[in-house]
Amino acid sequence: MQKIGVVGAGNVGVGIVDALVMLGISKKIILYNRNIDRAFGEVWDINDAVPLLNGNIHVSATDELNDLKDCEVIAITIGDKQEKGESRLDLLNKNRVIIVDLIKQLDIINIEAKIIIVTNPVDIITRIAISHSNRDKSKLFGSGTVLDTIRLREEIGTKLDINRKNIHAFVVGEHGDSEFALWSVATIGPILLDNFGIENFENIKEEIMQKVRRRAYNIIEKKGYTKQAIGIAVAKLIKAILNDEKRIFTLSTTLSNNCAHIVSDVVLSQPCILGSNGIESVLLLDCNNREFELLKNSIEVLDKVYLDLKLL
């Protein structure tokens, strides 16, 4: 039986479990949390909903990492929240300790599981996890700009009145302020977006990307956190692994060796083929000159944060 582990019973962790149950993606889900009472409360609530849905799904709670030993996929959402007076680096330093300890334990417990890092800032946390793990890199990656890419396609579709399923466009780089769209290779069906005859398209591009970058901030300003969309996005990643779908997602992973001839240990979002073995291939980023500069900027931003963190 396919078993999924979710580490962390906060808003995002519970959002992932909710999505897995609602979409019927796995028959057995286990929610790990250091505070077992919180995990039990969430699991009991979710299990009360299962009889109202089709299928036979069991969700359980644990505070023992060893219970994740036979999970095929594990999503990691844990991490401290930023407290008043703390800098981003202070928060990162605390979360680094948590992630390093967790990854080392999971390497011992279940080295074959595919691990999806969801904890933010996802690129930096994923890089830390990779650097302290013996797991094959293809089996350890971040959720990256998967949700940003969906937001981009939705914004383009809304602007042009075209179904987003026919829009092929990707957000890459940092999952954050330096992310950017690969406009030069974006298409509607077989037609390059740049050749679609859109008036004032350069202005529209900037307007769309501003909305994409600001979306999470706007949600957090209104309700304090994001949950539903990221939960479904990660559930879709898990589904792609379980069903060996070979779908393309923009995931946080080590920069491809053949990416624009840049040599770096940085971790950022790139289009990847996702299947039963995890990331089965990282696709070459085909950038024009402007996008290449944006890529270098994203690398510099992420490298600086990582190197500053190592100096703490």
Would you name the residues annotated as active-site residues? 175
Is the distance from CB of 91 to CB of 70 less than 8 angstroms? no
State how far the Cα of 215 lies from the Cα of 158, in Å rounded to an integer: 15
State how far the Cα of 237 lies from the Cα of 243, in Å rounded to an integer: 10
Half-sphere exposure of 168 (CA within 13 A, CB side): 11
> Which has the closest alpha carbon to 80: 91, 67, 66?
91
Taking CA 161 as the corner, what is the angle to CA 159 and CA 167, rounded to the nearest 5 degrees?
A: 85
Neighbours of 192 (CB within 10 A): 12
Beginning with the edge strand found earlier in the chain, give each strand of the sheet holding 191-192 in spatial order.
Answer: 167-168, 187-188, 191-192
Q: Give all strands (DSSP E) within the chain, no chain letters.
A: 3-7, 28-32, 58-62, 73-76, 114-117, 140-142, 167-168, 171-172, 180-181, 187-188, 191-192, 247-254, 267-275, 278-282
Q: What is the DSSP string of 171-186?
A: EEB-SSTT-EE-GGG-
Residues 6+ apart with CB under 8 A from 222: none
DSSP 8-class letter at 68: G
Is the distance from CB of 46 to CB of 70 less than 8 angstroms? no
Retrieve residue 104's tokens. 């080392």
H or E element in which residue 221 lies: helix 201-223
